């Protein structure tokens, strides 16, 4: 054992064997199988209004036939510019059933960001909802000729009857006016045409999704994910649970993000479970939904778990039904994990994945031993190893951290229209994650840092996450980000940015003086800056790039 590669095989902690294979399966076939198995079971719960598998399946078929009848061809791209609403499922599985390629688009995108993604992917149809901000953005793109058609879902139609009436009477400004325009059609009308147009055959190796990366290190790139990539990852995640039972999952992570796409949407459909969805994260509403539906699982990001802990309703929420919480998107602080488990009685397990891996690569076990700060063992069918950080053609030196590379059925085909990026992203057929990791004697993987986040201090490489881990030990620190800033002599020096826990008061100088004696000389920060908030990505992950841009602008000035 030279790089930890064999250790996770010898001590494998997940159910079954790690080297399982997964038969080819399309997402429409996966959806249809669950709908046929439990047609009357609820699939969606949206603020109290439930739709059965039978109901959603009929709408999926209608949408697929409507697309084909309108001239939509196999391989055409369709953008989903939607929050978490039931119509996302209808458009997603319907477009896939029609042979289309889905392009997920964040509802927080500006018009320019949306136009760029549409141009890059070649999508000519956008599905949105009649929320004014979203609809007006999509409509503007049709007026400019960027897209040919906008399909509009009705938000109020998905609400329980009382809420629907109140919204129409009291909040008419929250509903966009849909003009008479041949380029704009309501989803309900579009899917109700009764077309019997033949649907094209769909194969497991066909492209299902163009999923754009977060763009934390540059312009977002579209990862090409096939039906097999996505259905295999759903099955891999489902296989992690040794005792599956009733399945009522909280769907507050945005479906447009790959984490939710696999762990909330596809995995739950595969299992025949119910998704209790919220259109956006709100701590009070999330806790109320856990209470109301007796949720069994809650996938989230660390900042979400912190917000739930901070809300007063945490003390009156009944968590008895909650079995498992999956944390991803960013490292989970051990103190936060312990506090949330103590408050809820649910097990919180940390996992790891990338856009390029259809969602998930590794996870801590649902039962038994887990390692704080670890991402656990690879999920079934997934092979990981460490390569040298300077020369990925070589294995990492024994006992040293190396870049994590991955192979498995969930790994993307490549980047959309970016052969140059493909060359840099694979080594001997394995995906280069860009993450620096270690693998211990029992095979547990720890992410040390991002290769591109490392700070070069006088020839030494400094990992920001190691400094952040020390900061989190201070009772006053709630969130922490460390970046490299220019230094005349050493080239770069670390600088920390923090927010404080409620009721805490300490200044940056005092935190710096507390921190620096506890880290190596080359890791000592030049300053700690206390802020009210820190920048986050669309999914709630702490983000360095805005702080780096700020510091560069200050230096330039």
Number of Cβ within a 10 Å radius of residue 243: 8
* Predicted model pTM: 0.84
Q: Which CATH class is domain 454-556?
A: alpha beta
pLDDT band at 71 (very low <50, low <70, confident <90, very high): very high
- Ranges of each domain in the chain: 7-22+215-450, 52-202, 454-556
Contact 212, 117 (CB under 8 A): yes
pLDDT value of position 350: 94
Looking at per-residue pLDDT, the higher value among 345 and 554 belongs to: 345
pLDDT tens digits for range 163-181: 655 555 445 557 778 887 8
* Band of pLDDT at residue 521, cut at 50, 70 and 90: confident
Average pLDDT, the chain: 90
pLDDT number for residue 249? 98
Q: pLDDT tens digit string along 522-552?
A: 889 999 999 999 998 777 788 888 998 898 8
Instruction: Please state, in angstroms and rounded to a whole number, the distance separating the CA atoms of residues 261 and 246.
Output: 20
Q: Could you give the CA distance from residue 1 to residue 228 in angstroms, rounded to a whole number?
A: 32
pLDDT band, residue 119 (cuts 50/70/90): very high
- Residue for token pair 């997964």: 22
Give the lowest-confidence range in 7-21, 120-134, 249-263, 290-304.
7-21
**Binning pLDDT at 50, 70 and 90, where does residue 11 land?**
confident
Cβ–Cβ < 8 Å for 263, 237? yes
Task: Identify the residue whose tokens are 């939904």.
Answer: 289
Comparing C-alpha atoms, which of 277, 287, 273 is closest to residue 318? 287
Query: Cβ contacts of residue 453 below 8 Å, gap of 6+?
Result: 463, 464, 465, 483, 544
For residue 3, what pLDDT is reported?
46
Q: In this model, does residue 214 exceed pLDDT 80? A: no
Per-residue pLDDT tens over the stretch 37-70: 999 999 999 999 999 999 999 999 999 999 999 9
**Listed residue (423, 298, 424, 289) closest to 349, CA to CA:** 298
pLDDT attached to residue 164: 59
- What's the mean pLDDT in 360-367? 94
Q: In terms of Cα–Cα distance, which of 253, 258, 264 is closest to 211?
A: 258
Domains 7-22+215-450 and 52-202 share a fold: yes
Cα separation, 511 vs 497, whole angstroms: 10
Degrees, nearest 5: CA angle 348-349-355: 125
> pLDDT for 386-417, tens place per residue?
999 889 999 999 888 999 999 999 999 999 99
* Mean pLDDT, residues 227-239 taken together: 97
Residue 8 — pLDDT band, cuts 50, 70, 90? Answer: confident
Q: How far is CA 114 from CA 89, 94, 122, 315, 392, in A?
A: 21, 22, 12, 40, 35
Q: Looking at the domain 52-202, which fold is it? A: Rossmann fold (3.40.50)
Alpha helices (H) in 200-280, listed in sequence order: 227-238, 258-260, 267-271
Q: How far apart are CA 76 and CA 168, in angstroms?
A: 35
Tell me: pLDDT of 442 over 80.
yes
* Residue 83 in this model has a pLDDT that exceeds 50: yes
Q: Which CATH superfamily is domain 7-22+215-450 in?
A: ANL, N-terminal domain (3.40.50.12780)
- Rounded (5°) CA angle 453-450-409: 150
Compute the chain's Rg from CA coordinates.
Answer: 24
Percent of the chain exceeding pLDDT 70 equals 94
pLDDT class for 216, splitting at 50, 70, 90? very low
- Minimum mean pLDDT range among 209-223, 272-286, 300-314: 209-223
Q: Calculate mean pLDDT across residues 419-443.
A: 89
CB-CB contact of 171 with 130 (8 Å):
no
Q: Is the pLDDT score of 330 beyond 90?
A: no
> Highest mean pLDDT range out of 195-199, 300-304, 451-455?
300-304
CA distance 169 to 189: 23
pLDDT in tens, 237-290: 999 999 888 899 999 999 999 999 999 999 999 999 999 999 999 999 999 999
User: What is the full DSSP assignment across 259-282?
Assistant: HHIIIIIIHHHHHT-EEEE-SS--
């Amino acid at each position: 054992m030279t790089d930890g590669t064999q250790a996770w095989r010898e001590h494998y902690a997940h159910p079954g064997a790690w080297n399982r294979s997964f038969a080819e399966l399309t997402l429409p076939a996966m959806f249809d199988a669950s709908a046929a198995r439990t047609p009357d079971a609820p699939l969606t719960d949206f603020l109290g209004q439930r739709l059965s598998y039978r109901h959603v399946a009929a709408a999926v078929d209608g949408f697929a036939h409507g697309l084909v009848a309108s001239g939509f061809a196999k391989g055409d791209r369709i953008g989903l510019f939607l929050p978490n609403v039931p119509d996302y499922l209808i458009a997603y599985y319907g477009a896939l059933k029609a042979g289309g390629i889905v392009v997920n688009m964040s509802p927080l995108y500006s018009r320019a960001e949306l136009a760029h993604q549409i141009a890059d992917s070649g999508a000519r149809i956008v599905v949105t909802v009649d929320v004014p901000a979203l609809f007006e953005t999509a409509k503007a793109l049709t007026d400019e000729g960027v897209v040919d058609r906008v399909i509009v879902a009705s938000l109020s139609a998905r609400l329980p009857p009382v809420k629907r009436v109140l919204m129409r009477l009291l909040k008419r400004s929250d509903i966009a006016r849909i003009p008479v325009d041949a380029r704009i059609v309501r989803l309900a009308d579009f899917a109700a045409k009764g077309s019997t147009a033949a649907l094209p055959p769909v194969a497991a190796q066909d492209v299902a999704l163009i999923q754009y990366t977060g763009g934390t290190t540059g312009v977002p790139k579209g990862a090409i994910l096939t039906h097999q990539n996505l259905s295999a990852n759903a099955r891999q995640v489902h296989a992690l649970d040794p005792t599956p039972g009733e399945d009522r999952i909280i769907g507050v992570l945005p479906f447009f993000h790959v984490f939710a796409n696999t762990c909330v949407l596809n995995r739950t459909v595969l299992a025949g479970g119910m998704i209790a969805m919220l259109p956006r994260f709100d701590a009070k509403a999330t806790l109320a939904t856990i209470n109301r539906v007796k949720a069994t699982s809650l996938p989230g990001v660390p900042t979400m778990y912190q917000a739930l802990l901070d809300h007063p309703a945490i003390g009156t929420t009944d968590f008895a039904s909650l079995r498992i919480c999956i944390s991803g998107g960013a490292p989970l602080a051990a103190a936060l994990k312990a506090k949330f488990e103590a408050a809820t009685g649910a097990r919180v397990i940390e996992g790891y994945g990338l856009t390029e891996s259809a969602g998930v690569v590794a996870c801590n076990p649902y039962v038994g031993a887990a390692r704080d700060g670890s991402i656990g063992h690879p999920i079934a069918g997934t092979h990981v190893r460490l390569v040298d950080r300077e020369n990925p053609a070589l294995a990492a030196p024994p006992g040293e951290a190396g870049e994590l590379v991955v192979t498995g059925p969930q790994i993307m085909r490549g980047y959309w229209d970016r052969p140059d990026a493909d060359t840099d992203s694979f080594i001997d057929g394995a995906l280069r994650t860009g993450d620096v990791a270690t693998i211990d004697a029992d095979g547990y993987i720890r992410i040390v840092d991002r290769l591109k986040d490392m700070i070069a201090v006088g020839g030494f490489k400094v990992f920001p996450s190691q400094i952040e881990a020390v900061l989190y030990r201070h009772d006053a620190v709630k969130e922490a980000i460390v970046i490299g800033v220019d230094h005349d002599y050493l080239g770069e020096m670390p600088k920390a940015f923090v927010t404080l826990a409620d009721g805490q008061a300490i200044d940056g100088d005092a935190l710096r003086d507390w921190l620096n004696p506890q880290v190596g000389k080359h890791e000592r920060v030049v300053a700690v800056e206390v802020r009210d908030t820190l920048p986050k990505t669309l999914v709630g992950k702490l983000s360095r790039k805005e702080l780096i841009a700020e510091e560069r602008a200050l230096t330039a000035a």
